[in-house]
């Protein structure tokens, strides 16, 4: 913990980006963590955070006072300096996957745990991909990862793609009814591409039916989250087949998912809503500051959840569901919603870090 205020000093790699900015906002008054170091590409390095950002600050309110004056370091070259300042780092870099893998490994091998938002290590066989309310037990692989790589204190954990949080919580809640096939269409906000309407004016009054790499991630990543660790490696679940169509829509924040689902078991609407509302949350009792009181909220009203109204549920960390009804093809259909830069990125990775802290995997 920081000597003056007893908070753990953390670094943010990719601090100038959309997710990096959200991390800075969410950590401003965090009870356990404090931003002690910011880093980005060589283009931003060497200047104060405020200068490096220029007009790119896209959050409500000003840059937090203490962070504005921090010097921006170069993620690729300043590992040693950053290591001496922080206990762990959040990674929110957007670059070539190979490049991100190298950067994250350079921090982990230097003894700095890396809590990543990136997809670069999501499929690395000894790196967990965590949604804390769904697969916290996957953190059991960390000692194996450290042994495999001869790392002492450092390790890497990831979180899934931002679309996943809108529908995988529902599939998990319904696991006992044995989901078999899912067709999901996602309606994804422009902040998911690190953009605003100012930086992406072509998105006004427009829908783009293609998001590079998104459908593959949306179909495959749930398998790892719902899978098991077998002989020290992840074995993805193959019990649910998912087909995804991912569309970019003119919304600032919030990813909505329309889900059609077939179960192997006969099931009623009451059983399905009951399973959502009474989700057995493994975080219960851990008292994590960013955890929502309720993981999944089911809305009975026909026109909910709505992106604009419901994306901020529980500080943007709650998952909304609604419109559960019979489907003529697969049996059931419904809608899910999550905030892509909060639950789906910065907030999700802060929750991951809080879980790591509670489990003693990160410390001073
Ligand atoms: N936005 C979302 O909703 C969301 C959700 C889940 C996951 N993610 C993932 O989170 C990551 C960040 O996304 P974002 O939307 O915040 O991206 P972004 O706004 O484009 O920000 C990119 C960040 O990466 C830095 N960077 C770029 N090239 C670099 C390089 N070669 N070496 C080191 N740093 C470099 C940039 O620094 P400079 O300013 O110096 O260029 C900036 O800080 C991505 O991997 C993305 O897939 C995003």
pLDDT at 300: 97
Domain residue limits, the chain: 8-161+346-358, 164-339
Q: Which of 162, 246, 334, 339 is catalytic?
A: 162
Q: How far is the CA of 274 from the centre of ligand 1 (A)?
A: 38
Average pLDDT, consecutive stretches of 10 residues, N- to C-terminus, the chain (364 residues): 75 96 96 98 97 92 95 96 97 96 98 96 96 98 97 97 97 98 98 93 98 97 96 93 98 98 98 97 97 97 98 97 98 98 96 97 87
The answer to whether residue 162 is catalytic is yes
Pocket flag, ligand 1, residue 40 (CB < 6 Å): yes
Atom of ligand 1 nearest to the CA of 340: 3
- What predicted TM-score, i.e. pTM, was given to this entire model? 0.96
Pocket flag, ligand 1, residue 94 (CB < 6 Å): yes
Q: What is the 3-state secondary structure (H, E, C) of 95-122?
A: CCHHHHHHHHHHHHHCCCCEEECCCCCC
Alpha carbon distance 72, 229 (integer Å): 38
Q: How far is the CA of 213 from the centre of ligand 1 (A)?
A: 16
pLDDT at 83: 96
Q: Which CATH architecture is the domain 8-161+346-358 placed in?
A: 3-Layer(aba) Sandwich (3.40)
Burial of 227 (0-12, 13-18, 19+ CB in 10 A): middle
Q: How far is the CA of 96 from the centre of ligand 1 (A)?
A: 10
DSSP state, residue 190: G
Q: How far is the CA of 305 from the centre of ligand 1 (A)?
A: 29
pLDDT at 4: 56
The answer to whether residue 255 is catalytic is yes
3.30.70.260, 1.20.990.10, 3.30.930.10, 3.30.360.10: CATH of 164-339: 3.30.360.10
pLDDT at 201: 98
Name the residue at shortest CA distance from atom 28 of ligand 1.
Answer: 95
Atom of ligand 1 nearest to the CA of 44: 40
User: 271-278: which pairs have CB atoms within 8 A and are 24 or more residues apart?
Assistant: 271/177, 272/174, 272/177, 272/324, 272/332, 273/298, 273/324, 275/173, 275/174, 275/176, 275/177, 276/170, 276/173, 276/174, 276/321
Pocket flag, ligand 1, residue 95 (CB < 6 Å): yes
Alpha carbon distance 230, 216 (integer Å): 24
Alpha carbon distance 204, 194 (integer Å): 15
Alpha carbon distance 344, 336 (integer Å): 13
Atom of ligand 1 nearest to the CA of 341: 3
Name the residue at shortest CA distance from atom 34 of ligand 1.
Answer: 41
């Amino acid at each position: 913990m920081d000597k003056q205020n007893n908070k753990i000093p953390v670094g943010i790699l990719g601090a100038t980006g959309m997710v990096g900015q959200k991390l800075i906002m969410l950590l401003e008054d965090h009870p356990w963590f404090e931003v002690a170091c910011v880093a980005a590409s060589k283009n931003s390095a060497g200047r104060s955070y405020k200068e490096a950002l220029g007009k790119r600050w896209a959050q409500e309110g000003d840059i937090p006072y203490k962070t504005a004056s921090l010097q921006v370091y170069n993620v690729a070259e300043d590992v040693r300096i950053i290591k001496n300042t922080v206990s762990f780092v959040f990674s929110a870099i957007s670059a070539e996957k190979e490049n991100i893998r190298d950067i994250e490994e350079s921090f982990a091998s230097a003894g700095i745990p890396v809590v990543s938002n990136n997809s670069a290590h999501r499929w690395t066989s000894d790196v967990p991909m965590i949604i804390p309310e769904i697969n916290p037990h996957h953190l059991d692989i960390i000692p194996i990862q450290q042994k495999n790589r001869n790392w002492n204190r450092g390790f890497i954990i990831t979180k899934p793609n931002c679309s996943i949080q809108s529908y995988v919580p529902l599939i998990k809640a319904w696991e006992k009814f044995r989901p078999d096939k899912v067709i999901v269409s996602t309606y994804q906000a422009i902040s998911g591409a690190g953009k605003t309407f100012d930086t992406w004016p072509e998105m006004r009054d427009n829908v783009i039916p293609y998001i590079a790499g998104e459908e593959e991630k949306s179909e495959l990543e749930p398998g790892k989250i719902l899978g098991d660790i077998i002989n020290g490696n992840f074995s993805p679940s193959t019990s649910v087949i998912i087909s995804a169509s991912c569309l970019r829509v003119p919304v600032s924040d919030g990813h909505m998912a329309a889900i059609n689902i077939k179960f192997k078991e006969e099931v009623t609407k009451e059983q399905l809503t009951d399973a959502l509302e009474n989700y057995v949350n493994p975080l219960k009792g851990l008292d994590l500051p960013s955890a929502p009181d309720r993981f999944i909220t089911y809305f009975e009203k026909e026109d909910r959840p709505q992106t604009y109204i419901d994306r901020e549920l529980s500080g943007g960390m709650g998952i909304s569901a609604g419109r559960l009804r019979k489907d003529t093809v697969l049996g059931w259909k419904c809608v899910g919603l999550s905030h892509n830069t909060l639950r789906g990125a910065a907030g999700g990775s802060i929750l991951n870090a809080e879980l790591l802290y509670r489990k003693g995997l990160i410390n001073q």
